[in-house]
């Protein structure tokens, strides 16, 4: 599953919060956003893809998530924030090379055939949030719990997983079937992961001893040496060279997204275009992390995760013919189910630190809504979603807007931009109001009231945008005709 992940350290963000964000780019998956209360968390977890059963710990915490509406392929919870104000995003599909997979194969489900017994598969994107997020009280604890589960049960795919609390962000990458590495994001940096092995520097000594900024499987050093995996020439440890892919597909599907995001947040200090460019859209060595030239907001994250190479010859919506138009995979791709920004703030009371920003559908044409996570349920506008199409919920209304606006991009994009700005401003206005009320009164049950008001504003703006875009699209239908046309 192709996704794009962006991580923002607390000194790189506008308000001192940590933010982890990801586009969940399935195949037009119908999604909802809900709260899972402790009494709803099952003691025995059964996976659909891996056919694996796991006994879960007692005393789970409440958490938010964005599962698939149709559970035929599993829960696919995507990401969320728990009541301890720990966020998790799972997962970014990454790449692993054949040397690694030959040494530590994926753990895949094997169906029983005749006298040959069946075998359960490992854990995967379907499962990670449900079996980890309710049981961790820090980002570091998230790495430790998930790492132990990977070593015990294995995985059937390559994934990257992000965790954040108010102080730290950790990024974990799976290595083959049972191995893993994790690295702490520096406070002053942001990190880009576009569907490939991301970490490009690693301190094995720290990971195997003090674990200040790195963690890994306990036998990783021996695993690398025994299987001759280290392709580095200079004595450094670059996991991207050791574990990652080195394919032509990276050059058109993955690397261009890293190039465009870096170009956006660091436009002047690095040469991104022309002769002697430091990095091009197809460069394999674009760094995992950068220090941005200015502070990053949630709106910046939403904007860049909506991008399709505006301002470059690669924009698929260019009016002029260009051999480069649409040659690279957009960031704001059509098939996105849900995007989340898990924001953990540090300048407010614990009860209101967690904010989850949610979008549904293609980010190029949708809006992001902010929701307090210290609640026992989400408003129906984002949670009561069915497989049947309806303008009564945010998911399907967003999908309708995207399909109409994409087909009539030129005349509709101004409506989309005004809609996105209006929703963002409305979210901040209501959050500012309720942050103040709750700090003054100490009544944090007002989170429910705030979310209700935010969703009322969101529905009003979404309905108005859909009406405008529908009218504009209707006016530009090919069957339009008047006698004055003759």
Catalytic residues: 3
Cβ atoms of 320 and 379 closer than 8 Å: no
Planar angle of CA 458, 61, 357, nearest 5 degrees: 20
- Considering only CA atoms, which of 18, 36, 31, 17 is closest in space to residue 375? 36
Phi-psi region of 31 (alpha: psi -120 to 50; beta: other; left: phi over 0): beta
Cβ atoms of 152 and 120 closer than 8 Å: no
Phi-psi region of 178 (alpha: psi -120 to 50; beta: other; left: phi over 0): alpha
Which residue is associated with the tokens 């301890």? 84
State CA 129 to chain mean position distance: 12
User: What is the SS3 assignment for 259?
Assistant: helix
| Spatial distance between the Cα atoms of 75 and 274, rounded to a whole number of angstroms | 46
| Spatial distance between the Cα atoms of 200 and 202, rounded to a whole number of angstroms | 7
Tokens representing 193 are: 């992961």
What backbone phi and psi angles, to 5 degrees, belong to 7? -120, 135
Helix (H) or strand (E) holding 249: helix 249-249
């Amino acid at each position: 599953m192709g996704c794009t992940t962006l991580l923002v350290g607390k000194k790189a963000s506008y308000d001192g919060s940590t933010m982890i964000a990801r586009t969940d780019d399935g195949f037009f998956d119908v999604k909802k956003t809900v709260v899972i209360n402790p009494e709803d968390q099952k003691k025995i977890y059964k996976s659909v893809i891996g056919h694996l059963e796991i006994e879960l710990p007692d005393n789970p915490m409440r958490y938010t998530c964005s599962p698939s509406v149709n559970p035929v392929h599993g829960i696919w919870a995507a990401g969320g924030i728990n009541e301890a104000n720990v966020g998790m995003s799972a997962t970014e599909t990454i790449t692993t090379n054949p040397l690694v997979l030959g040494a530590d194969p994926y753990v895949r489900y094997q169906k029983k055939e005749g006298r040959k017994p069946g075998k359960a598969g490992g854990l995967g994107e379907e499962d990670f949030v449900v079996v980890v997020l309710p049981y961790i009280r820090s980002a570091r604890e998230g790495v430790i719990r998930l790492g132990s589960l990977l070593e015990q049960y294995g995985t059937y795919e390559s994934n990257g997983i992000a965790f954040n609390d108010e102080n730290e962000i950790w990024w974990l990458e799976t290595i083959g079937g049972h191995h893993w590495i994790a690295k702490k994001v520096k406070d002053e940096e942001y990190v880009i992961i576009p569907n490939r092995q991301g970490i490009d520097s690693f301190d094995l000594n720290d990971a195997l001893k003090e674990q200040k900024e790195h963690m890994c499987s306990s036998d990783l050093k021996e695993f690398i040496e025994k299987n001759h995996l280290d392709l580095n020439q200079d004595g450094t440890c670059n996991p991207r060279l050791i574990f990652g892919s080195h394919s032509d597909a990276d050059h058109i599907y993955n690397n261009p997204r890293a190039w465009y995001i870096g170009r956006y947040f660091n436009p002047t200090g690095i040469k991104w275009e022309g002769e002697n460019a430091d990095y091009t859209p197809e460069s394999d060595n674009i760094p995992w992390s950068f220090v941005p030239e200015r502070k990053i907001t949630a709106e910046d994250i939403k904007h860049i995760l909506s991008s399709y190479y505006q301002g470059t010859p690669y924009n698929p919506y260019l009016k002029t013919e260009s051999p480069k138009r649409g040659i690279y995979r957009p960031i704001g791709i059509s098939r996105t189910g849900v995007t989340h920004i898990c924001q953990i703030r540090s300048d407010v009371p614990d009860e209101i630190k967690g904010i989850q920003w949610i979008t549904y559908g293609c980010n190029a044409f949708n809006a992001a809504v902010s929701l307090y996570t210290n609640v026992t349920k989400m408003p129906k506008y984002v949670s009561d979603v069915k497989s049947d199409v309806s303008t009564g919920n945010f998911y399907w209304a967003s999908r309708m807007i995207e399909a109409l606006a994409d087909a009539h991009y030129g005349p509709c994009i101004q409506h989309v931009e005004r809609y996105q700005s209006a929703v963002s401003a409305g979210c901040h206005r209501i959050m500012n109001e309720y942050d103040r009320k709750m700090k003054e009164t100490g009544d944090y049950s007002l989170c429910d009231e705030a979310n209700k008001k935010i969703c009322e504003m969101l529905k009003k703006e979404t309905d108005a945008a859909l009406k405008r875009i529908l009218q504009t699209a209707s006016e530009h239908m090919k069957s339009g005709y008047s006698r004055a046309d003759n």
